[in-house]
């Protein structure tokens, strides 16, 4: 069964109302590896309930519609699915606990050609359930490696943010735990690709890989600590292109370049393989 563009564009997502508390905020931060130094007050603000702050990237796990592309009606080969790109625009800082509503829609479905895969572009907004205030807007590109050649349009696609042709202004290294994916999935992404060796093998990997959104959050925290004094209120937006998977236990090194007007370019490598795993990153600071 092949994917049908019209079916995906018309996919109906129910609003997702989600309550979260300090335990959820702490668990998300622990899933990113924060708290590795229990004496570091900058880390403790995200993993200790006294004065707890929510990480600005936590919006990506809230109001999530679930692993909807695994629904047989989509026609997608979900075992070969990968996260392609992720953007978040932060309008209002998230509290450490509250009640939110997520609204999702499919924006476009792009055919890269037979044997080259397809792209599903979706958007999600996250609002305070009681006041209606907008917390953040998110855009996501899902790469369906096994679903190209269905006869859809081949574009348009967004131009990647360029990486400067010079040495980075700073680097932030973040070790990950071998069980990092098993911790991160407790925040709501239950794709077995990140837990089940058999599913990972069927997807072309020799072992479960780290969630792309976990790597995204790690890079976001690296930007905060490296360029914004760890202040979660200063991050206005973050956008990346996923270029390769991270294996749990590897060290992620985020390279950061200062640009004009509070804009940063960044990318992330895994130290052990020298491989770029996040590329064409762009962050904006307040």
Q: Pick the catalytic residue: 194, 203, 217, 256?
A: 194
Q: Pick the catalytic residue: 148, 212, 217, 281?
A: 212
Determine whether 217 is an active site residue. no
Residue 251 · residue 157 · CB < 8 Å: no
Rounded to whole angstroms, the Cα distance separating 154 from 138 reads 23
Residue 155 · residue 110 · CB < 8 Å: yes
Q: Pick the catalytic residue: 34, 209, 252, 256?
A: 209
Rounded to whole angstroms, the Cα distance separating 226 from 271 reads 18
Q: Pick the catalytic residue: 189, 218, 252, 281?
A: 189
Determine whether 212 is an active site residue. yes
Determine whether 194 is an active site residue. yes
Instruction: Return the active site residues.
Output: 189, 194, 209, 212
């Amino acid at each position: 069964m092949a994917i049908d563009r019209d079916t995906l564009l018309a996919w109906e997502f129910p609003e997702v109302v989600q309550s979260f508390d300090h335990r959820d905020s702490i668990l998300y931060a622990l899933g990113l590896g924060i708290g590795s130094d229990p004496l570091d007050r900058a880390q403790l603000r995200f993993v200790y309930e006294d004065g707890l702050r929510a990480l600005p990237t936590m919006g990506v796990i809230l109001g999530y519609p679930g692993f909807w592309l695994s629904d047989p009606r989509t026609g997608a080969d979900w075992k070969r699915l990968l996260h392609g790109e992720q953007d978040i625009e932060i309008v209002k800082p998230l509290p450490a606990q509250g009640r939110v509503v997520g609204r999702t829609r499919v924006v476009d479905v792009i055919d890269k050609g037979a044997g080259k895969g397809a792209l599903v572009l979706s958007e999600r907004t996250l609002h305070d359930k009681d006041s209606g205030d907008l917390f953040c807007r998110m855009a996501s590109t899902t790469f369906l490696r096994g679903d190209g050649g269905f006869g859809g349009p081949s574009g348009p696609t967004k131009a990647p943010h360029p990486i400067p042709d010079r040495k980075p202004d700073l680097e932030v290294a973040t070790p990950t735990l071998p069980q990092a994916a098993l911790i991160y999935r407790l925040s709501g992404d239950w794709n077995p690709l990140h837990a089940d060796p058999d599913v990972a093998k069927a997807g072309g990997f020799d072992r479960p890989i780290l969630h792309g959104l976990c790597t995204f959050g790690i890079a976001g925290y690296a930007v905060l600590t490296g360029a914004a004094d760890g202040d979660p209120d200063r991050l206005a937006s973050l956008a990346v292109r996923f270029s390769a998977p991270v294996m749990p236990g590897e060290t992620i090194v985020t390279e950061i370049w200062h640009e004009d007007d509070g804009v940063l370019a960044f990318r992330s490598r895994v130290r052990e393989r020298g491989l770029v795993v996040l590329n064409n990153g762009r962050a904006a600071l307040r």
